[in-house]
């Protein structure tokens, strides 16, 4: 069983727990709490991700809002750009990102494709008010990915 953890709300996690994770998906502030690295850009995100890998996580995906996300494994460091949208409400953006990430992983997409899919879904979610009403439909996500290609 591959365990994927969105560490929100942020709290300290011990190495025993972290070593059981396949993927962890902190945002900047959660990554800082977990690693004591102030995450303000992709180089600092990579430093924080490396610490998470050293603590036993297989894949660290640090989300950075409109900037996108950083994927870090032992073999891969990849920046996946975000999407420029007219944001009105970030409620549930992290939840939408993580739900979409799991869907794409279950479909066998590559890590980069998975994060692109999740970034698109999260970007769409911030264009609407509320939590549940902001969750995009698959066709909307696919349309956004086609526009960005």
**Is 95 part of the annotated catalytic residue set?**
yes
Strand, coil or helix: what is 91?
A: coil
Q: How many CA atoms lie within 13 A of 94 on its CB side?
A: 18
CB atoms under 10 Å from CB of 6, counted, come to 20
Q: In terms of C-beta distances under 8 Å and separation of at least 24 residues, what long-range contacts does 79-85 make, across chains too? A: 79/42, 80/112, 80/115, 80/116, 80/119, 81/119, 82/119, 82/123, 83/119, 83/120, 83/123, 83/144, 83/148, 85/123, 85/124, 85/126, 85/127
Rounded CA separation 135/41 (Å): 27
Choose, from 36, 54, 89, 95, the residue flagged as catalytic: 95
Catalytic positions are 95
């Amino acid at each position: 069983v591959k365990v994927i953890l969105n560490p929100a709300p942020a709290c300290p996690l011990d190495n025993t727990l972290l070593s059981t994770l396949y993927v962890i998906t902190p945002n900047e502030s959660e990554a800082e709490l977990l690693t004591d690295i102030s995450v303000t850009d992709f180089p600092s995100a990579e430093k924080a991700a490396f610490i998470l890998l050293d603590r036993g996580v297989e894949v660290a995906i640090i989300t950075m809002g409109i900037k996108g996300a950083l994927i870090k494994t032992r073999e891969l460091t990849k920046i996946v750009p975000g999407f420029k949208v007219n944001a009105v409400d970030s409620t549930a953006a992290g939840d939408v990102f993580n739900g979409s990430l799991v869907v794409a992983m279950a479909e066998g997409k590559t890590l980069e494709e998975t994060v692109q899919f999740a970034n698109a879904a999260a970007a769409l979610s911030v264009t609407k008010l509320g939590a549940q009403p902001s969750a995009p439909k698959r066709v909307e996500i696919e349309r956004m990915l086609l526009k960005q290609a």
